[in-house]
Amino acid sequence: MLSTSDRIVVCGGGGFIGGHLVGDLLAKGHKHVRCVDVKPTTEWYQVHPQAENIVADLNLRDKASEAVKGMDVVYNLACNMGGMGFIELNKGLCMISVLINTHLLLGAREHGVKRFFYASSACVYNGEKQKEKKLETFLKEEDAYPAMPEDGYGWEKLFSERMCRHFREDFKVSTRVARFHNVYGPFGTWKGGREKAPAAICRKVIEAKTSGKHDIEIWGDGQQTRSFMYITDCLKGIYLITGSETWHEPINLGSAEGVTINQLVDIVEDIAGLKLNRKYNLAAPKGVNGRNSDNTLIKKVFEWEPDTRLRDGMEKTYRWIYDQMTSK
C-alpha cells in the first residue's frame, strides 16, 4: 500500500471524486497532497486548505509536467464528462481529454513517478453487449473487445487505457486502471446538465416535493438498467488498485446491485415520502439499455467488492442535495 510520506497529486481534484479523494487522503495522514483542476477554486466541489491547490489546464503539456513534477503518485481523474445528457451531446469535447492523460503520462515518465492511476469508465464496453434491458447484463473486463465503446467519451477512455498499458510496457511507468461504474454521493453535480441519474432524480423529486407539482420527467422508458457505486466504495477501490504490486490490467470498480431507472425513482420517492406522476421522454439521451458491473475479477484479486446498499447511499445523497436546494 501507499505510504503517508508519498507525495501525491490528484488531477481533477476540484471535481466530485477528486474532492472526496483529496479530503480522504488528508484525513488518512498524507502530508503532501497536491490538487490540480482547470476550474477556478470558487467552482471546485470541495476545497481543502491543507492541500497544495493549483489551477491549471492539464490539456497543456507544460502544465501537466509541472503538476506531476516531484510527485510519487498521480491520480488522474481529470476529464470532460457528465451524465448522458452531456456526453451524448459533447463528443468532441470529451475526446479532447485524451490530451490530459497523454501529457500526464509523458510527465510521469519524465519525472520518474512511482505509481500512476487512471480513472477509466464502463463506457469503454462494447455496445453490442448492452442492448438488452436486463439486470443480468454483467460486463466482464474482456467485454471491452472487440472495441465498440460509447462514441466520444468511451473511445477516449479506451484509447487512454491503451496508452497506460504501453507506457507501462515500454517506458516502465507503473500504471493502474479502474473502470468506474456510475459513482454518486454528496458534494457532486446535481444540476446544470452534467449531473448523472442519481443526482438528477434526487433533484427532480425534491423539486416536485417543494413545488407541490407531483410530476417527474424520466429520460427513456425507465426500463434501462444500471448499477451505481457510492463514493466511499469508489475511494476504497482506488486505494486497493493503486497500491497493488501485482495487478495492473484494467479492472471493474462498481456495484453489482443493478436496478432499472424506474426502480431508482422508486427508491428516491420512498426516501422523500411521496409518489409522483411519471412522464417518459423517449427522445431524451438515455445511453445503453443495460449495464452492470461483473465483480468476479475484483473479488478474486482483492477479496472485496463495493458493498454499500443503493438505498443507503441514495438517502445520504438525497439529504445533501435537499440541503443545497432549500438552504438559499
Active site residue ranges: 153
Residue listed under C-alpha cell 454483467: 138
Residues 6+ apart with CB under 8 A from 21: 10, 13, 75, 77, 235, 238
Backbone angles phi, psi at 128, to 5 degrees: -65, -25
Helix (H, G, I), strand (E, B) or coil at 184: strand
Q: Quote the crossing angle between the two packed helices 310-326 and 197-211, to the nearest 10°.
A: 50
Axis-axis angle for helices 231-243, 16-27 (nearest 10): 70
Which of 258, 274, 270 is CA-nearest to residue 315? 270
User: What 3-state DSSP class applies to 244?
Assistant: coil
Count of other CB atoms within 10 angstroms of residue 307: 13
Report the C-alpha gap between 2 and 295 in whole angstroms. 24
Find the farthest-apart pair of alpha carbons in the chain and give their distance in angstroms, rounded. 60
Sorted by sequence, the CB contacts under 8 Å of residue 16 that are 6+ apart come out as: 45, 183, 185, 187, 188, 189, 231
Reduce the DSSP state of residue 178 to 3 states and report it: strand
Residue 55 has, within 13 A of its CA and on its CB side, a CA count of 7
Instruction: Return the residue matching grid coordinates 477554486.
Output: 41
The three cell numbers locating residue 63: 502544465
